[in-house]
Structure 1
C-alpha cells in the first residue's frame, strides 16, 4: 500500500514543515515533497496538522475499563478508546495487588495482544509495583509491598511471554540495587513511590535504572540540603522522567521548569485510570474506591488517584504553559516515550523508514484521523 498525505503542517523532530505531501509506503514513512507525487493516491488532510502517533507508557485504564479488571475485554476496550485520542502505542499498566490478581492481569494482557488489538497497540507491559514503600504509596496498596525478587519477576515474565518491558521500584527496598543491575539488562527499571535519598537514587541509576515515575508525585521532594528523589530526577541526564501535565498533579510553573531541565528526557504520560473520558462519579482504582469530581480522581482519604488526563491534552497544556514550539512538546509524548524503551528507531516521529503511526488533528487538538503502521483505523465524521 502506497499513498501520500496532503496536509497543511507536519510536526517533525526539529521543525514544522508544510504544506506538502508525506509519502507512506508499506506501513512506513517516506519523504515529504512540496509537489504531489505523480500517479499516487492522495489522502486530503489539507485542513489538518499531521503529527506522530502519541505513545502513552503509563496508563491504567480509560472509558470505564482498567487493566486490573484482569479481562481480555478490558485491554481491548482500552485499546479502542485510545485511538480517537491520537494514541497509537501504549503500555498496559498494572497496580500493586495480590499475586493472583496481578498474574491474572498479566495473562489477560498477553491474551488480548495475541488475539489482536483493533485500536492502539501494546508495546509491552508496565508493572507499577509491587516493590514500593509506604511513605509515598499514593493509590498503591501497601498490604502487598515487598522487596524486589528476581525469581518472582521471571515468573511474571514467563506468564507474559517475555512482554514485560518496564517495572517501577522504590530504591530503598532491600536488594533494590542488585535487582536493578540484573533486570536492567532486559527491562526499563523506573524509580517511584519512594522516600529514598538522593544518594540512594544515584546508586540505582548507577546500577542501571533509567527513569523516574510521575515526577514530583509519589516521591521525596526537593530540599536544598537533601535533593531527594526529585533532585536526583532533575539533575541526572542519564534518566528519563515521566510527568503528568493535567495542572493538578504538578503546578504549571514547576512542569515548565522540569520540561526546560529534562528536555528530551521528559516523558509525558497520563497515569489515566478508568474514569478517564467518563462523567464525574464513583469508580474503583484497584481495590480502592475513588471519587471523581470536576475531572479530578481522589481516594476517600483525599489523595490523588491516578488521573483522568488525555495525553493530547497534556501536550496542549504544556505547550500553552511553556510557550514552546508545538513540534517539540508533542515529541515529549511520542519520541521521548519511545526512546525511553529503546524504540526510537521504530516509533515516535515522522522520519523516513519509521513505522507510519500518525494523527491528523485541527488547531484545537481535535483528532480527525489516526493511523497505525499506515492503516487509517479511525476517522471522524465531519
Structure 2
C-alpha cells in the first residue's frame, strides 16, 4: 500500500522540514515532497510532528513484567507496553543470574519473537552480564559473576537462534580481550559495564572490537584529572558509543548535556527500565533483588540505583529541555544512534528514503498520538 502523510513538521535524518508530504510505499519511506501529490491517498496529521520510531537498546521490563520472568508472555507484554510510548524497536535485556534462569529467559524471548510480537519489534537480545566485577555491581548479583567463556556464550547463542546481538562485560576480567575479539567477529556488539577497570584496560578492549559503554557514569570508575578511568575512556574514544539514562537521577542534567556535547551522535539514549515502569511507587524485584521505587526512583536495599522507571520519550524530552538542542537532533539519539551502534542504520532509525517506515505522530507537546511499524498504524490514541 502507498500513501502520503501530511503534517506540520517532519524530523528527517539531516534536517527538520516544515509542512509537506511524506510518502510511505510498501512499508518503507519514500520521497518527501512539498506540493500536494495528485491522486494519492493522504493521511492528514495537520498540527502534528512526524518523527522516526524510537529504539530502546537497553530495557529489562515495564508495566509489571521483566525479561527475567522467563516467559514469552512477559516479552509480549513489554512489547505492547512500550509501543504507545513511541518505541518501535527494542533489545530485550537480561541481567546477571543463574545459568538456568539465563537460559530460560533467552528461550522465552526467542519463543515470543517466533510467535510474532504485536507491539514494538525485537532487534535481538542484549545480555547484560554475567561477566562483571564486584565494586560497581549495581543491581547485578555478584554470586554469578565469572570470567567470559566463549563456549558458554555460544551455547546461549545457539539457544537464541543466533539472535543475541549485544553483550556487556567488565574489561578487567580474565580472557576479556580474547572473548571480545571472537564475539565481535561474529557480529555481536561488545559493551563495557559494571567495571572498576582503568582507562588503559578499556582502551585495550576497544582496540579488540568493543564499541559501547553501558549507562555512562553508572557502574564504572569516574573521571579524575590524573586517572581518566572508564568515564574518561568512554568520553575520549570516538570509536565507541555511550549509553545515557536521562531521568535526572542517574546523571545530573548538566553532566548529561556535557556528555551529549562531547559524544555527539555517538550518544545513545536508553531507559534501563525495570518492571516498575508505568507502575505506582512501591516494592518490586529486579532479578533476585528487592527494589523500592519512590518518586519514580528505583533503589536496592543497599541504596544502589536499580535500573529506572524511565520512558525513552521522556529521556528525549529531558535532554532537549536541558540542552536546548533542536528536537530532531536529540530525537535521533533515541532512534538513529542506537541503530548505528548495532549496524542497523541502513534499515531503521531515521526518516530516509528506503528505510523501514517506523514513525511516531507527536502533538505540539511532544506527546505520542500514533505509532506505525513498517508503515502500518499499530497504535492510535
Q: TM-score range by the shorter chain?
A: over 0.9
The Cα offsets for residues 144-175 of structure 1, whole Å up to 9 and x where unpaired, read as 00000000000000000000000000000000
Q: Is the 8 A contact 1:18 1:34 kept in 2?
A: no
Q: Does 1:13 align with 2:22?
A: no
What pairs up with 1:370-381 in 2 under 5 angstroms? Answer: 370-380=371-381
The alignment covers a number of residue pairs equal to: 380
Give 1:32 shift.
1.1
Give 1:301 shift.
1.1
Q: Does 1:201 align with 2:187?
A: no
| Residue equivalent to 1:281 | 282
| Residue equivalent to 1:37 | 37
Give 1:130 shift.
0.1
In structure 2, runs of 5+ residues without a counterpart are: none
Give 1:31 shift.
1.0
| Residue equivalent to 2:147 | 147
Task: Find the aligned partners of 2:221 and 2:305 in 1 and give their Cα distance.
Answer: 16
The Cα offsets for residues 229-286 of structure 1, whole Å up to 9 and x where unpaired, read as 0000000000000000001000000000000000010000000000001111111101
Q: Does 1:211 align with 2:206?
A: no
Q: Is the 8 A contact 1:60 1:66 kept in 2?
A: yes
SS at match of 2:318: helix
Q: Does 1:2 align with 2:2?
A: yes
SS at match of 1:8: strand
SS at match of 1:136: coil
TM-score, normalising length: structure 2: 0.99
Q: Is the 8 A contact 1:90 1:120 kept in 2?
A: yes
Give 1:113 shift.
0.1
| Residue equivalent to 2:324 | 323
Q: Is the 8 A contact 2:165 2:188 kept in 1?
A: yes
TM-score, normalising length: structure 1: 0.99
Task: Find the aligned partners of 2:364 and 2:97 in 1 and give their Cα distance.
Answer: 41
Give 1:18 shift.
2.1
Task: Find the aligned partners of 2:40 and 2:82 in 1 and give their Cα distance.
Answer: 30
| Residue equivalent to 1:22 | 22
Q: Does 1:83 align with 2:80?
A: no
Which aligned runs of 4 or more in structure 1 are off by greater than 2 angstroms?
none
The Cα offsets for residues 76-125 of structure 1, whole Å up to 9 and x where unpaired, read as 00000011000000000000000000000000000000000000000000
Task: Find the aligned partners of 2:220 and 2:364 in 1 and give their Cα distance.
Answer: 36
Give 1:366 shift.
1.1
Q: Is the 8 A contact 2:2 2:41 kept in 1?
A: yes
| Residue equivalent to 2:258 | 257
SS at match of 1:329: helix
Give 1:13 shift.
2.0
Task: Find the aligned partners of 1:324 and 1:270 in 2 and give their Cα distance.
Answer: 20
Q: Is the 8 A contact 1:219 1:229 kept in 2?
A: yes
In structure 1, runs of 5+ residues without a counterpart are: none
Give 1:363 shift.
2.2
Q: Is the 8 A contact 1:8 1:45 kept in 2?
A: yes
Task: Find the aligned partners of 1:365 and 1:110 in 2 and give their Cα distance.
Answer: 33
Give 1:365 shift.
2.0
The Cα offsets for residues 206-226 of structure 1, whole Å up to 9 and x where unpaired, read as 000000000000000011111
Aligned-pair RMSD on alpha carbons?
0.6
| Residue equivalent to 1:292 | 293
